[in-house]
Amino acid sequence: MLKTIANLKIGEKAFIEKLCLENIPLKLLEMGCLPGIEVQLIQVAPMQDPLYIKVNGSHLAIRKETAEKISIVNF
């Protein structure tokens, strides 16, 4: 099963997989959401969308649809 940011539990950390660069929108790449970088799920909105993540010390809100495209590997 492909593990994505959308599969993380609150507080769980993982690394963005190096092979999923084509699935990350340019806007997120510009904000530091790069392959090999640690990502942590901080919070999930009441309707399960958006997801709030921590990347490079910044908190970002991303749509669940986008989070499902970004594959990760656990520590």
Can you spell out the DSSP letters for 33-56? --TT-EEEEEEE-TTS-SEEEEET
pLDDT in tens, 22-50: 778 888 888 888 889 999 999 999 999 99
Q: Is the pLDDT of residue 4 over 80?
A: yes
Distances from the Cα of 50 to the Cαs of 14, 45, 75, in angstroms?
A: 18, 6, 24
pLDDT score for 1: 65
pLDDT of residue 26: 86
Strands 13-16 and 51-55: unpaired
- Annotation: CATH topology of 5-73: SH3 type barrels. (2.30.30)
Query: Per-domain residue ranges for the chain?
Result: 5-73
